[in-house]
Amino acid sequence: MRKLLVTGSSGLIGSEVCRYFNQMGWEIHGIDNNQREVFFGKSGNTRWNQLLLQEQLKNFHHHELDIRDREHILKIIAEIKPDAIVHTAAQPSHDKAASIPFEDFDTNAVGTFNLLEATRRYSTSIPFIHMSTNKLYGDGPNLIDLKELDTRWDYADEKYANGIPENFPIDHTMHSIFGASKVAADIMVQEYGRYFNMPTVCLRGGCLTGPNHSGVELHGFLSYLIKCNLEQKKYSINGYKGKQVRDNIHAHDVACFIDEFIKSPKPAAVYNLGGGKNNTCSILEAFTLIENISQIPMQFNYNETARLGDHICYYSDLSLMQKDYPNWNITYSLPKIFQEIFSEWQKRV
């Protein structure tokens, strides 16, 4: 039986990957220490998801471990001897990072380095999948000519009609502290792929979402927005008239791509992983979508000041992914994603 090691296994993407590959017959080893609760408080707790994995998945093994613990990471990878590693653990918040810069960098950059080196010492032939972020591009996308529509911003430059490609520059922009720590991790994953010819990939995620997200104000855009609607809690819009645009991808579609990469890996690969143009919405448009489902009016505050380094408009150009992996495509539409998250929050709130 093939073995998969998943870091951040109790989180949104990690848990989806665990479930997906368990169904494919893999033995799953999950690393998680509920650090999300430390970062975000009780609302960020993911123990509930860990317990579900332990109850529902026959061949799942939980390991209570912090990826910053270098000696234990070296030891556990050598002991488990995985056939592939999916690294989703991170300090994930753009905003939170500035108040906890040591924890942010040690988790995102040093933790990733610990895993890479432990993997190299064990084997240079197993796929290493790293969940990166579109924040690597900093606020560079804001320099693209934009057009303002009734409910959203969009690219006026036809060069970006399909979204942001992987060769978009990352220099001379404001990334946020979070974005900078993820740049360090992303580049290191690429370097291990090139220098040691290891099959590595950086998946530069946009808005990754799904029903297993413990959405909080500082991370988890759609999940938190839908939760606010159900609880009739005011949602805070920060700048850009609420017309800022994101592409949204369901965690299942992320897991499906990871499967495709493991089947046909390559060294130092980089892909922008999002929902693409068809799965975009602005905050205002998201309000309308959830109001139509819940029949509950959205309550919100508006703050003129935008978040530092935030994107006005961002969606991923998926053409390279689909060229290299033609069996993969987006299967969850935006309305389907909204309905699924809404149904799950109904059970929890």
pLDDT (0 to 100) of residue 218: 60
Q: What is the DSSP secondary-structure string of 126-169?
A: S-EEEEEEGGGGTTGGGGS-EEE-SS-EEE-SGGGTT-B-TT--
List, in order of start, the domains of the chain with CATH numbers.
3-348 (3.40.50.720)
HSE-CB at 100 with a 13 A cutoff on CA atoms is 18
pLDDT (0 to 100) of residue 243: 97
What are the pLDDT digits (tens) for 15-74? Answer: 999 999 999 999 999 999 998 888 888 878 889 999 999 999 999 999 999 999 999 999
Beta bridge partners of 295: none
**Burial per residue of 234-247, b for 16 or more beta-carbon CB atoms within 10 angstroms, e otherwise:** ebebbebbbbbbbb
What are the pLDDT digits (tens) for 299-319? Answer: 999 999 998 778 999 999 999
Cβ atoms 317, 185 nearer than 8 A? no
Q: Name 197's Cβ contacts closer than 8 Å, sequence gap at least 6.
A: 124, 267
Checking if the pLDDT of 333 tops 90, the result is yes
- pLDDT bin (cut points 50, 70, 90) of residue 105 is very high
Q: What integer is the mean pLDDT of 118-125?
A: 98
Which position has the higher pLDDT, 94 or 208? 208
Residue 246 identity (one-letter amino acid) = R
